[in-house]
Amino acid sequence: MKDFIRSKGKIGKKGEIYIPKKIRELMGLMPGDKIEVDADGEKLIIKREPTALDLLKENSVYTIKVEEMWDIRKDLSKKLSE
């Protein structure tokens, strides 16, 4: 299990959720980050939405050669110009 921290935040007048600093730091949350919010019974689950950089850091699902990529790009360009 990853680090577990329980802390208290609060809800602002306009519904803003204030997340405690130690949890923001643990999760790597920065101002402007997008989040996903789920409700599960009495639980509110907040997850950081992955960024493009996060996705690029993940292990690849498929390996492709540069030459194959160029062929795919040419085919797409041809289809888009029709």
How confident is the model over 19-77, as pLDDT tens digits? 999 999 988 899 999 999 999 999 999 988 888 777 778 777 778 889 998 999 999 99
Residue 37 lies in a domain: yes
Burial 33-43 (b: 16+ CB within 10 A, else e): eeeeeeeeeee
The answer to the question of residue 28 being in a domain is yes
Check residue 1 and give its pLDDT.
Answer: 47
The answer as to whether 5 is a domain residue is no
CATH of the domain at 76: 2.10.260
Rounded CA gap, 76 and 63, in Å? 19
pLDDT of residue 2: 66
Number of domains comprising the chain? 1
Answer whether residue 4 is part of any domain: no
Q: Band of the pLDDT at 13, cuts 50, 70, 90?
A: very high
Structural domain including 25 reads: 10-81
